Amino acid sequence: MTVRNVPTIVITTDSTIITPGGSAKLTAQVTGTIASYTWSPASLFVNPLTLQPVIKAITATTQFSLSVTNVEGCTNVAKITIQISSPLVMPSAFTPNNDGLNDIFRIPPGA
């Protein structure tokens, strides 16, 4: 029996949380003698043929994956999720005068 090593993959980014319509740069570090690699979904990258692709503007939380195959035919997949942050909506007024309007100041959930 021959045991072959799978390639190792580490994906990092400048930010895993971006604003709607924002973009981010991914950086992949791969070990081993690589025969091929594939980013997906490829349509969301400016250039999916690099190990340091830039994500196009996205509007929803998206999981990206990198599949790497070495020269021995062994494949490994790594994934990273880029989240879209919700804009922080704050009340425009705070009037604690017991009139039932804007009497309580609360920070929205997830802020």
Task: Please indicate, yes or no, if residue 37 is contained in any of the structural domains.
Answer: yes
Report the candidate in 82, 65, 62, 80 with the shortest Cα–Cα distance to residue 16: 82
**Tens digit of each residue's pLDDT, the chain (111 residues):** 888 889 999 999 988 999 888 889 999 999 999 999 999 999 999 999 999 999 999 999 999 999 999 999 999 999 999 999 877 766 677 778 888 777 777 776 655
Segment 56-74, tens digit of pLDDT: 999 999 999 999 999 999 9
SS3 assignment for the chain: CCCCCCCEEEEEECCCEECCCECCEEEEEEECCEEEEEEECHHHECCCCCCCCEECCECCCEEEEEEEEECCCCEEEEEEEEEECCCCCCCCCCCCCCCCCCCCCCCCCCC
In a domain, 103, yes or no: no
Determine the structural domain holding residue 69 and report its residue range: 8-84
Query: pTM (2 decimals)?
Result: 0.76
In CATH, what number is assigned to the domain containing residue 49?
2.60.40.10
Total domains, the chain:
1
